[in-house]
Amino acid sequence: MKSPELLQQLIRFNTVNPPGNEGPALEFLRGPLEAAGWECKFLSKVPERPNLVARLKGAEPGPNLALISHVDTVPADPEEWSRDPWSGDLHDGYIWGRGALDMKDQVAAEVAACVNLAESGWRPARGDLILVVAADEETGAHFGAKWLCEECPEEVRCDWVLNEGAGELLDFDGRKLFTLSVGEKGTFRFTVVAEGEAGHGSIPRVGDNALL
């Protein structure tokens, strides 16, 4: 299976969220995964908005690795596009369409890799490889990853996860580079104390502002 052709086909499923309508696209992905030997499940809060959870079992128990992505997209106004946003056209070396970057490209790459690995006979030595292709990432994950973690935690429990992020193509000094994200933003709490003489907002120069 080749990911460029798979990406073109995925783009042709209109999964603009709302309303999402992810079901047909996920059913399309489920077929080749099951044929290659993956155990696939549709888990959904409502039938028309499923999440695909596929698992390739390891030879022995061990830590699980999950690949997580989503197939819903933000809206697209065809009047603002030079090509049909749901065409999946290949033109001048680029695949056109809504979701080509966010993030049906990663979906296609991961699904193609997972199918090809399983068809080759490869299996994890320890732990399971889990593929999660979710619904509803663009509007809060109430039908997608958030719901899965709250209502089906055992189906998606993992020790490591590769998520959406980075991977942008940059032109740098005549070279094409892809960025790589190895962490996620967190929280840093601190207290700032500033001493000065208060002044009214209408005449700020009267006060002694310790910050400016």
Q: What is the pLDDT of residue 201?
A: 72
Answer whether residue 164 shows pLDDT above 90: no
- Report the pLDDT averaged over residues 42-50: 97
Query: If 0-12 CB within 10 Å is exposed, 13-18 middle and 19+ buried, where does residue 37 land?
Result: middle
| Residue 79, both tokens | 């009047």
Q: Residue 166: which pLDDT band, with cuts at 50, 70 and 90?
A: low
Q: Is 72 a catalytic residue?
A: yes
For the segment 148-153, the average pLDDT, to the nearest whole number, is 98
> Is a pLDDT exceeding 90 seen at residue 58?
yes
The structure tokens listed for 52 are: 């695909």
- The pLDDT of residue 149 is 97
pTM to 2 decimals?
0.82
Question: pLDDT tens digit string along 59-117?
Answer: 999 999 999 999 999 999 999 999 999 999 999 999 999 999 999 999 999 999 999 99
Alpha helices in the chain (DSSP H): 3-11, 23-36, 104-119, 145-151, 153-156
CA dist 151 and 165 (Å) reads 25
Q: Which of 22, 72, 110, 138 is catalytic?
A: 72
Residue 51 · residue 42 · CB < 8 Å: yes
Domains recognised in the chain with CATH numbers: 3-178 (3.40.630.10)
pLDDT band (50, 70, 90) for residue 203: confident
How high is the pLDDT of residue 177? 86
Q: What is the pLDDT of residue 112?
A: 98
Query: pLDDT at position 197, please?
Result: 79
Let me know the angle formed at the C-alpha of 29 by 13 and 182, rounded to the nearest 5 degrees.
95
* Catalytic one of 110, 136, 137, 138: 137
Q: Which residue has the tokens 């899965």?
A: 148
Residue 73 Cα distances to 16, 43, 150, angstroms: 5, 19, 23
What is the reported pLDDT for 212?
Answer: 66
Whether the predicted pLDDT of 49 surpasses 90: yes
